[in-house]
Structure 1
Amino acid sequence: METLVEGKNLKAYYVLEFWGKKRTIRAVDNVSLKIFSGEIYGIAGESGCGKSTLLKTLLANLEPPLRLFGGELNYWLDSKPVNVVSLKEEERRRLKWRFISYIPQGSMHVLNPVKRIRDTFMEILKSHVRRQKETFLEMAIEHLKALGLPSRVLDMFPHQLSGGMRQRVTIALATLLKPRIILADEPTTALDVVAQRAVIQLIKKIQKELKNTIVLVTHDMGIHAQVTTRMAIMYAGKIVEEGPTLEIFKEPLHPYTRYLIQSLPRVGDKQLREGIPGSPPSLVSPPSGCRFHPRCPHATQRCEEEEPVFLEVNPGHRAACFLLGG
């Protein structure tokens, strides 16, 4: 499989100052992963575990208070790794929208409320496409039609669209220049089930037709089961399990993953769902050893003192847990 993005030991922390004292939030703490061509890679976990920060890091969007304290981020361009962080701002800007694009959490973060949708499309095309401006509107209309969206939305303001339609327009913007990788941060948040279904269908349609790669962040394990081909489970700034989605749902290796899957409702099952005991830890001062040990029913003294390493149990399926024998 062709590698498109590779993160090695990424450490992306927020540095905040309160009343003269600095606090460091270890949102992404020593994370390594590879994203391959043609896959839908999911990132799951509770709110505050670092999922969205990991997406920003993969996008190389490291603006204060977010800083990269360590690690390496490579984009594979023409089959060669390029350290994106070392590139100049103008070089990174040229990669965005063409090689990699981003769908942020909440469509209103992308769409300017005082501009018509067509103006947002025109801005992207003018800054990245070397063609006659007269053809830009035609390009936008053709792209919307290809995604099954009405061209009349170009004449509307964001507030005139429903939440589901705004999100689909945002996805259309992110795919306008046919990037090889799309980073989608909670694309179905705050949508009703009908709108969620439409958004998920659109994402699957885009991936199938463009044959690109999608990195999908959502806390909804049901969406991961429907859409993703491979996924990672994040907890307290770290990836604790990674593998093929079907295999993770069939045989979860990490106790935290089991809790997430057990929380899903099942048709005909009237038993009470079991929640995860305790609360997520502070990323300012995370627990020593395995970060899940204060909430884990299987925790031992070793879990409190040592940090488990990833063990590959099955090809491509690995987890960091002492229960696996490491």
Structure 2
Amino acid sequence: METLISGKNLKAYYVLDLWGSKKVVKAVDNVSLDILPNEIYGIAGESGCGKSTLLKALLALLDPPLRLMDGELLYNIEGRPTNVTLLKSETIRKLRWSFISYIPQGSMHVLNPVKRVRDTFIEILSSHVKKQTKEFLDLAVQHLKDLGLPERVLNMFPHQLSGGMRQRVTIALATVLKPRVIFADEPTTALDVVAQRAVMQLIRKIQNDLKNTVVLVTHDMGVHAQITTRMAIMYAGKIVEEGPTLEIFKNPLHPYTRYLIQSLPAIGDKKLRSGIPGSPPSLVAPPPGCRFHPRCPHASQRCREEEPLLKEIKPGHKVACFLMEG
């Protein structure tokens, strides 16, 4: 099967100069992954594990202090793998909204507070499509209707919309040019459960209608179970497990993945839930060997000294853990 986006040995670090002392935060450290057509690919893990930074690296959104220190990023554009790290910023800009689009954590980051929603639509459309303003508005109205959103929101300012409606408008903006890949970074953050459900249903509807690919970042394992088809588990800047979502939930191979799944509440189960022991490591000075070993009840001396590689244990199911080597 063809690959839409391929990251090879990506190292995306934050290089900070703090009062004359340089600190390097290894937020994404030697990560490789392939994103396929017509799938919802999830990236899960605790806060601070590097999920959002990996998304920025895949989007080529590398604003200082974030830097791509090493690795290769390939986009399959019209059947031809293109190394995005070698493209000029203007070429990358043209790919955004049409080949790839981005739904950030907060909808207010996208919506200009002093502009009506229609002006933001026109701004995005006019940068990629040569049409008249009326045609842009007709396109925006039809797109909103297709997504079940009222036409009146075009004449509203962002502050006049609820949080859930703002996020749905943001999703409409990100999908108006029918991109091949949509990156969504914690799209349900700060929303109530009803709004969360509406946003997730909208993302699923768009993916079904366009038959495109969605890359979804969220720490909520329940959301992954409901919507993603394949997922990666991140810990301390690395992918420790990757595979079909159903397979990971049925048979988690990495101890960290098991802890994440065990933390989910179950209907009718009144047992106390136990959290993951210990705390995540510093990404400035991560521990040697397996980065999870200080918190892992199964850690051996080998885990403390050697770093496990991400290996395929079953078809499509990979894990970085010495326990799986027998």
- Aligned residues of 1:233 and 1:242 also touching (Cα < 8 A): yes
Mapping 1:1-326, distance limit 5 Å = 1-325=1-325
TM-score, normalized by length of structure 2?
0.99
Give secondary structure in 2 for the equivalent of 1:198: helix
Q: Give the CA deviation at 1:133.
A: 2.5
- Provide the C-alpha distance between the structure 2 equivalents of 1:169 and 1:244, rounded to a whole number of angstroms: 30
Shift of 1:130: 1.3
Moved over 4 A (4+): none
Deviations 1:3-29 (A, max 9, x none): 100000000000011110010000000
Shift of 1:307: 0.1
Q: Is the 8 A contact 2:254 2:319 kept in 1?
A: yes
Over aligned residues, Cα RMSD in angstroms?
A: 0.7
The residue identity in structure 2 corresponding to 1:235 is: Y
Q: What is the CA deviation profile of residues 6-63 of structure 1, one whole-angstrom value per residue up to 9, with x for unaligned ones?
A: 0000000000111100100000000000000000000000000000000100100111
Q: In the TM superposition, what whole-angstrom CA distance separates every residue of 1:209-253 from its partner, at most 9, and x where no partner exists? A: 010000000000000000000000000000000000000000000
Report the alpha carbon displacement of residue 132 of structure 1 after superposing the two structures with TM: 2.2
SS of structure 2 residue aligned to 1:81: strand
CA distance in 1, matches of 2:14, 2:6: 22
Return the letter of the residue paired with 1:52.
Answer: S
User: How far is 1:2 from its partner?
Assistant: 2.3
User: Secondary structure of 1:70's match?
Assistant: strand
Which stretch of structure 1 is more off in the superposition, 162-171 or 127-136? 127-136
CA-CA distance at 1:131 after TM superposition: 1.7
CA distance in structure 2 between the partners assigned to 1:285 and 1:6 by the alignment: 27
The aligned length equals 326
SS of corresponding position for 1:139? helix
Mapped contact 2:239–2:310 kept (Cα < 8 A): no
Contact between 1:311 and 1:324, CA under 8 Å: does it hold in 2? no
Structure 1: which 5+ residue stretches go unaligned? none
Runs of at least 5 residues in structure 2 that lack an aligned partner in the other structure:
none
Deviations 1:144-198 (A, max 9, x none): 0000000100111111101000000000000010000000000001100000000
Per-residue deviation, 1:129:
0.6
Please state how far the C-alpha of 1:115 moved relative to its aligned partner: 0.9
Q: Is the 8 A contact 1:232 1:242 kept in 2?
A: yes
| Local SS of the residue matching 2:118 | helix
